[in-house]
Structure 1
């Protein structure tokens, strides 16, 4: 079973220091903080001193870890390129491994790109204010170090919906309603699930959301199927009367994984109809595909009073399925659609390649669909029908003969 991590920002949002604290609470080596503080002080311009500590606190009856960061630094306005360079320099100074370093760099690049998009400039031109502080590098590199300490850099990451808070956020350019524009941009880029509240305070910070967006493989409404091995709580700085200000992290092993395959959340839609013609069903299928259905299938069945009918089954992502439900109702006149939210495992890498094949003394390039798992092993290699058909017509030979020759070439090349 694959290692799995569930990040739960549905309680009180997320910040970089809350995630770092939760990972330390679940078992990451706290000594990484000393190495981190020394590295930041050595390599980031303008930083005079860094003190990073961790302590146990109680948040509305919930025991949690809190990371306290004290940085004395000169105010230097930095570009996006400067901040990326700072994170990379700190990552190198603490000796992050390749996978952990990629986590850190992906997070800071995503953050800079989101800032640039909000301000309408390129990533190299954007000038950062709040994000330009050295504590951004502390949060991002610290989380990467903690994940490396726990052996989780290659785990499968889930996130529950993000509580973004409410009210106004004080920024360099003035007051903005929560969530801040860059937070909203980050959430939009990953199609992340989020909601307002439960308090009128900023709960989701740009750095915290950038780390989350760069890590997470699947945003889900509910906890996934997982065997929990550890739970960590990271405390935020503020205290609320309504709820514990904590971020929860679950670490364990997922029962829904198959090695080498990719898991994704899908919606399966089903409806039964018995008063529509085949032409109407065919038109509905075409429209469903045009609107983004991943797959559509039709099954014949007998319904009440032995009337012949159809079961229409549609596979969709979680964003598109409401539109497809409305389409089923409007096009087929059905009064109800069954909706099942589930997961499917699929071969993750699919590409088209051209295979050189000799047929009838002539050489042809045949287009082949090749699917491989995460280990690079070929699972399926299948020729495109139209490519094979055109060769058979040109040579005036049976399609079966061309398929046999192409299949031999595929087996020789891919072993599939």
Structure 2
């Protein structure tokens, strides 16, 4: 989901705001708010504050960085008493009201981040409860409560439910529909003239499904029950490194994911990147490279077909994405970290860019910065918690030399609110 979800999602949110304005006065956007000290990024957070904070914290966790306590506290403080998160609220000291626009995408991203960080069980439980409470009757979710379900929102909520330790298939609406029931309805039929196997964001008024790269990358992860920080499927878990071609017939979530990956593979085969069509009325009518969705496609392809399946777009990102990430800040860096994480690539040497340092620099200094990456970092941390880190050997040498038999061990809890 590129930076702040797809353009379609933003338009959907705008439509909700416009509809609300027809029945009640809606205040004009306030001037650019002061950036809170705990928030990542320097740009106006009105529409993406919670989203970019969640991605930043989740990305830091994947590489073994312990975020600053005030960064975690800022995110938790954005949650309303109902459990839902808005896109951003400037004054978290003021209670949420009926006019506070709660956001399923922001809530699901926050749940994924806080679940990974640990120590925030209450916030996670409330967030999951709110998501379940606003589930549509078709089993899916829209951008805002009450809006029609879409592939992106449904997929990221699936990731949140799984991250929180639940089983998405068991979360059903009053009509008995699960998130997967809704998700497969967005899969473009294999025999469609264009985009067979892709996911659509939503059907149009006539019920037609138009392929959407953003929705497809999200739909693949949703179909697999994976979140934003998905890892590559291991060779032993799959019969082939190549995704199958689009397969007709009744769709299971896993089959829809495979069809979506096959579509992405076909689109990426030529250039190694996805494109963004020109905006209506733009002087430049040429499509432009879509860095965010390409990063998301890397994660989706790796999760469905293995790291080698994502190699071409991954290499393209390494060569071309540095300036884009620098311009767009924490969410962009996080997306590249997820791409590196999904493929087992060192995020500290991503085409010459240290993504970890760059991401950390967009917000408050972490409590503890990673010195390694990936599984090695996690292994060393686990060893340390169990009493076998570097300090253990220092302690042994100390005891041997001075005869003092005092050893200590402890488990450092992550990200406690201060």
Q: Tell me if TM exceeds 0.5.
A: no
TM-score (structure 2 length as normaliser): 0.22
More strand by share: 1
More helix by share: 2
TM-score (structure 1 length as normaliser): 0.22
